[in-house]
Amino acid sequence: MGEKIPGYGGYILEVDLSEGNINRQPLDEELIKEYIGGKGFASKILYDELPSGIEPLSSDNMILFANGPLTGTLAPTSARSVLSTKSPLTGIWLDSNCGGSFGPELKFAGIDLLKIKGKAKTPKYLLIEDSDITLIDADDIWGFDTFKTKEFLHQRHPGTKVACIGPSGEKMIPLACVQAEGRSYGRGGGGAVLGSKNLKAIVVKGNEGISVYDHNAFVNSCREAFGELMLSSDSNGSRPIYGTSCIYSFIQEAGVLPIQNFKGSAFPGMERINEHSLLENLYEGNRACFACPIICSKHSLVKGGKYKGVIGEGPEYENVWSFGPQCGNSNLGSILKAEYLCDYYGLDAISTGNVIGFLMECYEKKLIPETEIGFNASFGNDEAIIKLVQMISKKEGIGELLGKGVAKAAKEIKGGSEQFAMHVKGLELPAYDPRGAVGMGLAYATSDRGACHLRAYTVSSEILDSTARLDPLTAEYKAELVKIEQDWFSILDSIGICIFANFGLNQNQLTKLLHTLTGIKEFSSLVKLLTIGEKIYNLTRLFNCREGLKRDSDMLPYRLIEEESPHISARNNTVPLDEMLNEYYFIRGWNKEGIPTSEKINELGLKCHEFEN
Amino acid sequence: MLKYDKELCTGCRLCEVICSFNRFQIIAPRQSFIQYVDNWPQVGFIDFCRQCKGQKCIEACPQEDALFVNEHSMVELNHAACTKCLECSELCPFGELPVNGGYPLFCDTCLGEYSCVKWCPTRALSRGDE
């Protein structure tokens, strides 16, 4: 084996399930310099190797797991890896980021990029032990829930880390996720893609090491970064105490917490599920992802009531919302139970809660009769939420329709329900109402995977930042902010660092970590990195444009554009999307239809012949 | 010797990272002399040799010269004589010993440098009495 490139595992592993071929090859240095890792790698590979128009659940699709150079190192929060594929939920680009310990283990097995193609004839799982890589029959575990799968595979292959699908992925439900050691590659239906390929799990154990370019400089940068995070009011303030829900009350007071499918302003008992209540009534202790000092993750136990005894990691802010306010539900135990079931069956808990809230509004508006659902599905009915999660996970009754996602459900239910189907490009909205923080409206509308809060997080500048706040209710400066964040977050998702580190560290510190680790001169300055980030974001955009998307896809749900916010602090606001979009396209160098111009494509050094004039 | 307070541990594995980095100049947690065992959704525990006074491992070892007390008064493994039977680990009163390539690993506190203690973000690891 030759000398490895510092910071990298060194290999691309390509698995063709149709042929049963396994091919481990050294990583191409040009790919590294041009695209860094993680999401960057994925953008290049999917753009080059997935022709437009392929069916996401067919053997033509490909699914990638990609690490960044910082993944699995001494750098704080270096737990992150990326799953990427063409989404069966949206039919467009998908990358889904996961913490925990699975990505780092892949890296220790030498793998920066895992490419899975084709379709196995019978259920299989992939076992990776450094360079020993085998496909093993999975008939005996097909049908297992994700916890049982993990436990079984841990016992059979001691010391390994497991990413797997549950019954929902096997049934190719577009809301299915991939579970990895208690955490999820959650959004967009990656679990269904693995299911369509008959791949139940990826099991990894890695004994190899990652070399470092400049030992002392890297250790010093890490030490600096840890120190900085400990001084940050975000990473060492309320986040380690309250978990990701630390923002809950701020978001609610700002009128940005969506209630009852984005139409309500309050619901009975809502104080019972805020961050203080979580801390007092639910959290049992802390739990960190790999190399993380922030410790936003909690493990919980329901201590009383009808859900007594339910355990789980979390609940995360997003899922407190999706099974709480989104469904008008203030029963804390049921929220943990619903999240637990999503993990158990392998479902995206954001989309699942969103679509249940949507159904509840349809029920309230009598667009679906009770007989068709089988029970009372009013807002706030916690037992209905639990039943619906189970029905979605098993494709039972109305659950089959809901599992296709809110966009397709609305198309079938009709009756004007499209106007309150809360999605962008088919991906369900997360836990921020953009009428109270309009930058998030632009962020959702222009996110490469559909409605997502992690492509740009303007909430920081609009609501949470106490020193340099922007007016959350106007369009001013939002286009520029969204563009800058999208480019920078593409870098975060490519280097393998958690977005929460970004709230405590400045961009130069992260650049220094990357550069002292790899020594690659293309990563030596922030300006160079931002150019790569812009290139990655343009490439995922071009992937979507090639699928036929343009301006009319960069839309928000009718409710956010035409119906005034129900929250007092959002002062009857709606999202001025058109205004922001025009400015955004201009700043991006995209034409009026939202397609990158050939000047921009050339400037970024992208070779996308389809789009050259 | 190294002390561990399980209550403070969050399972972040920085001890593994810095241990391998200091010893081998590469980041390779599987080769580390301190290893975390998960217990989802709760935090698990870490395995490492405490360099305890009881030295049951030496008693347990069927080989004459596989385990010995070195000049720093610490238990050390002679790889050439070890048969990887792991009797030492089985008899360890503190749990199991971390293993790499079949060999048990005995923490030497980085010869008093205690790098894991320096990097543990919650002080779950600390320096005990010598």
A496-536 tens-digit pLDDT:
999 999 999 999 999 999 999 999 999 999 999 999 999 99
Comparing CB atoms, the residue among A209, A219, A312 nearest residue B28 is A209
Query: How do beta strands A178-180 and A161-164 pair?
Result: antiparallel
B103 touches chain A (CB under 8 A): no
In this predicted model, what pLDDT tens digit does every residue of A543-600 receive, in sequence order?
A: 999 999 999 999 999 999 999 999 999 999 999 999 999 999 999 999 999 999 999 9
Query: How do beta strands A423-424 and A427-428 pair?
Result: antiparallel
Q: In what order do the strands lie in the sheet with A81-86?
A: A21-26, A11-16, A111-117, A62-67, A81-86, A93-98
Q: Give the pLDDT of residue A603.
A: 96
B121 touches chain A (CB under 8 A): yes
A287 touches chain B (CB under 8 A): yes
Nearest chain A residue to B98, by CA: A159
For residue A520, give how far its alpha carbon lies from the nearest alpha carbon of chain B (Å): 18
Q: Please state, in angstroms and rounded to a whole number, the distance separating the CA atoms of residues A40 and A43.
A: 5
Q: Give the pLDDT of residue A608.
A: 82
Contacts of B47 (CB under 8 A, 6+ apart): B34, B35, B36, B37, B95, B96, B97, B98
Share of chain A above pLDDT 70, in %: 99
In this predicted model, what pLDDT tens digit does every residue of A405-453 receive, in sequence order?
A: 999 999 999 999 999 999 999 999 999 999 999 999 999 999 999 999 9
| Owner of token pair 């396209």 | A585
- Cis peptide preceding A240, ω within 30 of 0: no
Contact A543, A521 (CB under 8 A): no
Q: Which residues of A touch B10 (CB under 8 A)?
A: 286-288, 292, 295
**Interface probe with A: pick from B5, B8, B12, most Cβ of A within 10 Å:** B12
Are the beta carbons of B26 and A311 separated by less than 8 Å?
A: no
Contact A516, A524 (CB under 8 A): no
Are the beta carbons of B13 and A293 separated by less than 8 Å?
A: no
Give me A487's structure tokens: 């480019």
Are the beta carbons of B28 and A287 separated by less than 8 Å?
A: no
- The chain-wide mean pLDDT, for chain A, equals 97
A151 touches chain B (CB under 8 A): no
Q: Please state, in angstroms and rounded to a whole number, the distance separating the CA atoms of residues A209 and A7.
A: 10
What CA dihedral angle connects B51, B55, B57 and B62, to 10 degrees? Answer: 140
pLDDT band at A141 (very low <50, low <70, confident <90, very high): very high
Residue B22: closest CA among B13, B35, B30, B32? B32
Buried/exposed code over A66-76 (b: 16+ C-beta within 10 A; e: otherwise): bbbbbbbbbbb
Residue A613 reports pLDDT greater than 70: no
- Tell me how far CA of residue A233 lies from CA of A246, A456, A461, in angstroms: 12, 21, 15
For residue B121, give how far its alpha carbon lies from the nearest alpha carbon of chain A (Å): 6
Which contiguous run of DSSP H or E holds residue A95?
strand A93-98
In this predicted model, what pLDDT tens digit does every residue of A55-87 receive, in sequence order?
A: 999 999 999 999 999 999 999 999 999 999 999
Are the beta carbons of A290 and B12 separated by less than 8 Å?
A: yes
Tens of each residue's pLDDT in chain B, 130 residues: 899 999 999 999 999 999 999 999 999 999 999 999 999 999 999 999 999 999 999 999 999 999 999 999 999 999 999 999 999 999 999 999 999 999 999 999 999 999 999 999 999 999 987 5
The ipTM of this complex is 0.96
Contact A4, A27 (CB under 8 A): no
Are the beta carbons of A73 and B42 separated by less than 8 Å?
A: no
Q: Which residues of A touch B89 (CB under 8 A)?
A: none
Query: Number of C-alpha atoms within 13 angstroms, CB side, residue A379?
Result: 25
A397 touches chain B (CB under 8 A): no
Q: Which residues of B touch A293 (CB under 8 A)?
A: 12, 14, 121
**Interface probe with B: pick from A1, A4, A71, A74, most Cβ of B within 10 Å:** A74
B42 touches chain A (CB under 8 A): yes
A474 touches chain B (CB under 8 A): no
Q: Give the pLDDT of residue A302.
A: 98
Query: Number of C-alpha atoms within 13 angstroms, CB side, residue A222?
Result: 29
For residue B97, give how far its alpha carbon lies from the nearest alpha carbon of chain A (Å): 14
Contact A32, A5 (CB under 8 A): yes
In this predicted model, what pLDDT tens digit does every residue of A218-244 receive, in sequence order?
A: 999 999 999 999 998 888 889 999 999
Are the beta carbons of A207 and B43 separated by less than 8 Å?
A: no
B17 touches chain A (CB under 8 A): yes
| A&B contacts, CB < 8 Å | 87
Are the beta carbons of A101 and B21 separated by less than 8 Å?
A: no
Q: Please state, in angstroms and rounded to a whole number, the distance separating the CA atoms of residues A335 and A383.
A: 10
Q: Which residues of A touch B25 (CB under 8 A)?
A: 211-212, 215
**Residue A139: is it exposed, middle or buried by C-beta count within 10 angstroms (0-12/13-18/19+)?**
exposed
SS3 content of chain A, % helix, strand, coil (to 5): 45, 15, 40
For residue A209, give how far its alpha carbon lies from the nearest alpha carbon of chain B (Å): 4
Q: Which residues of B touch A230 (CB under 8 A)?
A: 121
Output the 3-class SS for A123-191. Answer: CEEEEEECCEEEEEECCCCCCCCHHHHHHHHHHHCCCCEEEECCHHHHCCCCCECEEECCEEECCCCHH
pLDDT band at A205 (very low <50, low <70, confident <90, very high): very high
- Tell me how far CA of residue A482 lies from CA of A165, A344, A456, in angstroms: 33, 35, 6
Comparing CB atoms, the residue among A108, A289, A300 nearest residue B29 is A108
3-class DSSP state of A405: coil
Contact A90, A450 (CB under 8 A): yes
Output the 3-class SS for A256-292. Answer: CCCECCCCECCCCCHHHHCHHHHHHHCEEEEECCCCC
Going by the DSSP 8-state scheme, the letter that residue A78 receives in this structure is T
> Facing residues of A107 across strands?
none
Contact A120, A111 (CB under 8 A): no
| Owner of token pair 């998030």 | A440
> Facing residues of A113 across strands?
A12, A66
Largest CA distance in chain A: 68
Nearest chain B residue to A287, by CA: B10
Residue A469 reports pLDDT greater than 90: no
Q: Please state, in angstroms and rounded to a whole number, the distance separating the CA atoms of residues A164 and A162.
A: 6
3-class DSSP state of A202: strand
Buried/exposed code over A380-417 (b: 16+ C-beta within 10 A; e: otherwise): bbbebbbbbbebbbbbebbbebbbbbbbbbbeebeeeb
For residue B93, give how far its alpha carbon lies from the nearest alpha carbon of chain A (Å): 22
Residue A120 reports pLDDT greater than 90: yes
Going by the DSSP 8-state scheme, the letter that residue A525 receives in this structure is S
Going by the DSSP 8-state scheme, the letter that residue A450 receives in this structure is B
Helix axes A38-49, A478-495, angle to 10 degrees: 90
| Region A268-294 average pLDDT | 96
Comparing CB atoms, the residue among A182, A209, A287 nearest residue B27 is A209
B8 touches chain A (CB under 8 A): no
Residue A468 reports pLDDT greater than 90: no
Comparing CB atoms, the residue among A104, A210, A300 nearest residue B26 is A210
B126 touches chain A (CB under 8 A): no
Nearest chain B residue to A180, by CA: B40
Nearest chain A residue to B31, by CA: A207
Q: Please state, in angstroms and rounded to a whole number, the distance separating the CA atoms of residues A11 and A112.
A: 6
Q: Please state, in angstroms and rounded to a whole number, the distance separating the CA atoms of residues A65 and A112.
A: 8
> Angle at Cα A218 formed by Cα A216 and Cα A220, nearest 5°?
70
DSSP H helices, A346-472, are 349-364, 370-373, 382-394, 398-402, 406-413, 438-446, 459
Q: Which residues of A touch B30 (CB under 8 A)?
A: 108, 159, 205-207
Q: Which residues of B touch A313 (CB under 8 A)?
A: 40-41
Are the beta carbons of B40 and A108 separated by less than 8 Å?
A: no
First-to-final CA distance of chain A: 45
Q: Which residues of A touch B26 (CB under 8 A)?
A: 209-212
Nearest chain A residue to B115, by CA: A219
Q: Which residues of B touch A208 (CB under 8 A)?
A: 28
Contact A208, B31 (CB under 8 A): no
Give me A241's structure tokens: 């105490």
Q: Please state, in angstroms and rounded to a whole number, the distance separating the CA atoms of residues A244 and A239.
A: 6
Give me A280's structure tokens: 């007092």
Specify the amino acid at residue A234. Answer: D
Contacts of B112 (CB under 8 A, 6+ apart): none
Q: Which residues of B touch A209 (CB under 8 A)?
A: 20, 24, 26-28, 31
For residue B34, give how far its alpha carbon lies from the nearest alpha carbon of chain A (Å): 14
Which stretches does DSSP call E strand in B18-112? 26-27, 35-39, 42-47, 67-69, 75-77, 99-100, 103-104
Largest CA distance in chain B: 42
Specify the amino acid at residue A306. Answer: K
Comparing CB atoms, the residue among A211, A219, A292 nearest residue B12 is A292
**Interface probe with A: pick from B7, B10, B122, most Cβ of A within 10 Å:** B10
Residues written for chain B: 130
Contact A243, A283 (CB under 8 A): yes
Going by the DSSP 8-state scheme, the letter that residue A362 receives in this structure is H
Q: Which residues of A touch B36 (CB under 8 A)?
A: none
